[in-house]
Amino acid sequence: MKRPLVVIGAGATGIIASYKAAMDGATVLLLEKTDRIGTKILISGGGKCNITHDGPINSVLKAFRKNEADFIRPSCFRFTNQDILNMLTERGLNVYTREDGRIFPVDQTAKDVARILHTYLQDANVHIKFEAPVTEILAPGGKVEAVRLGDETIPTNHVILCTGGSSFPKSGTTGDGYVWAKSIGHTIVPILAALAPVDLPLQNLQIKAGVPLRDIILKARVQNKVIAQWRGDMLFTHTGLTGPCVLGITREISDHWQTEPAKLEVDLIPDLNFEQIQTRLTQFKNERPGSQIRPFIEQKTTRGIVPRLLATAEIGEEDINQHITKKQINILTQTLKAWQLGPVKEVLLDRGEVVAGGVDLDEVDPHTMRSHKVQGLYLAGEVLDIAGPVGGYNLQAAWSTGFVAGETAAADWLT
């Protein structure tokens, strides 16, 4: 019997790769370490699954760094955001597009996405082996010969490697693919946290965990230069910060980590400039000494941080309705526009949505996902050095590269 085409990892990438390869005629064996498919799909988007991003592919690609966009362009055109949505909606999933372009299931559950994808695998006769942690890819002389599952050896000449990254290790992704890829000749670009929460000493700020900040701009500075900023929401945690704004800037923070830890600051009222806020506060002070200052700040920010903002400007609770100096107004305005949160202590790689780094893109053909180093090896998804921003971009990269890997591997398998 002909050796099967082996796909390692049943995440978004491996599911689509297996489906496409099987539909094109290959005998596909999908090996998954955990006891289910799509472990990360299930936790994606807070359990709601931000499936992809809306818009023409060229605009979706703009969200990625240039080298990454160049790499995934051919596969994103081959299997688009509309293609994955068609697959899911044809089998009953209703989706909606948020104002910011992010696309979710209407019933807000990732389980339906995974369930529907499972039906595709069943229909295509993909043989799935669960609780099957691959331990090695054997490729003597630069040619795939087999994969090892502990003591068991599975002969194969075609392997699609889709083991994902190394964040959220409990979901099965412990970076195994990097180790094998390196051992058979690939270069691994150093792994860095991207889209991750941060630890930050918050004792001085005295803000309770769970306090949110809405529609702010979070900025990261290194040597006084802004290296990244993101507008949106964020949340204080017990040890630091999380939320879209934080995730949106952590890749740059990781990039600059060797220089020095970034210092974070928040523009709490992005729609008003310094002068506008200063004028408003001064008017309040002159009209009815101070009485409207607190309601103004509470309305524009979040109640839970107001005592801290007032303390920074050395405005006591008893002063606020009485006498406030011009200097205090200036400090308060400054705090509202650039509230200093301090230096980041750590970017939490294992709790990130994706990692940056991975198999060097120069060593994989973007039109086919074939390895330039090893015959019979195809690489796709997060195991590659790709990390898009929050917004459904990472799953799209997984669907698209997985599809092309499946297509090419099946064509090679059949010849």
Ligand X SMILES: Cc1cc2nc3c(=O)[nH]c(=O)nc-3n(C[C@H](O)[C@H](O)[C@H](O)COP(=O)(O)OP(=O)(O)OC[C@H]3O[C@@H](n4cnc5c(N)ncnc54)[C@H](O)[C@@H]3O)c2cc1C
Q: At what angle do helices 81-90 and 393-414 cross, to 10 degrees?
A: 80
**Angstrom distance (rounded) from CA 215 to CA 189:** 34
- 32 belongs to the binding site for ligand X (CB under 6 A): yes
Residue 4 makes contact with ligand X by CB under 6 A = no
Q: Is 399 in the site for ligand X (CB under 6 A)?
A: no
CA distance 87 to 180: 32
Using alpha carbons, list the distances in angstroms from residue 392 to 4, 28, 90, 398, 407. 32, 27, 20, 10, 23
Q: What is the DSSP letter of 335?
A: H
- Binding part of the chain for ligand X, among 73-81, 281-289, 336-344, 394-402 by CB under 6 A, reads 394-402
240 vs 392 by CB, closer to ligand X:
392
H/E stretch holding 254: helix 244-255
Dist. CA 349–CA 229, nearest whole Å: 19
Q: Binding pattern to ligand X, positions 143-162, x when CB under 6 A?
A: -------------------x
Q: Which of these ranges, 4-12, 69-77, 241-249, 336-344, lies near ligand X under the rule CB under 6 A?
A: 4-12
Tokens of 238: 């017990």
Piece of 3-11, 112-120, 152-160, 275-283 that binds ligand X (CB under 6 A): 3-11
Interface of this chain with ligand X, residues 359 to 378, rule: CB under 6 A: none
* Interface positions, 273-292, toward ligand X (CB under 6 A): none
Show Cβ contacts of residue 364 under 8 Å, excluding neighbours closer than 6 positions. Answer: 71, 370, 371, 372, 379, 384
Which amino acid type is present at position 240? G
Size of the site for ligand X (CB under 6 A): 38
Q: Does 176 bind ligand X (CB under 6 A)?
A: yes
The least CB distance from residue 321 to ligand X, in Å, is 45
Q: Which is nearer to ligand X, 167 or 254 (CB)?
A: 167
The site map against ligand X for 227-256 (x = CB under 6 A) is: ------------------------------
Window 35-54: residues binding ligand X (CB under 6 A) = 39-40, 43-45, 49-50
Q: Does 20 bind ligand X (CB under 6 A)?
A: no
Contact residues for 123 (Cβ-Cβ < 8 A; gap 6+): none
State yes or no: residue 167 binds ligand X (CB under 6 A): yes
Q: Which is nearer to ligand X, 165 or 290 (CB)?
A: 165
Q: Which of 143, 137, 140, 155 is nearest to 383 (CA)?
A: 137
CA distance 172 to 106: 28
Should residue 163 be labelled a site residue for ligand X when binding is judged by CB under 6 A? yes
Q: Please give the Cα distance from 364 to 383 (Å, whole number).
A: 12
Our finding on whether 382 is near ligand X (CB under 6 A) is yes
Cβ(93)–Cβ(113) under 8 Å? yes
Residue whose tokens read 């990097």: 178
Task: List residues near ligand X by CB under 6 A.
Answer: 8-14, 31-34, 39-40, 43-45, 49-50, 132-134, 162-164, 167-168, 172-173, 176, 353-354, 381-382, 392-395, 398
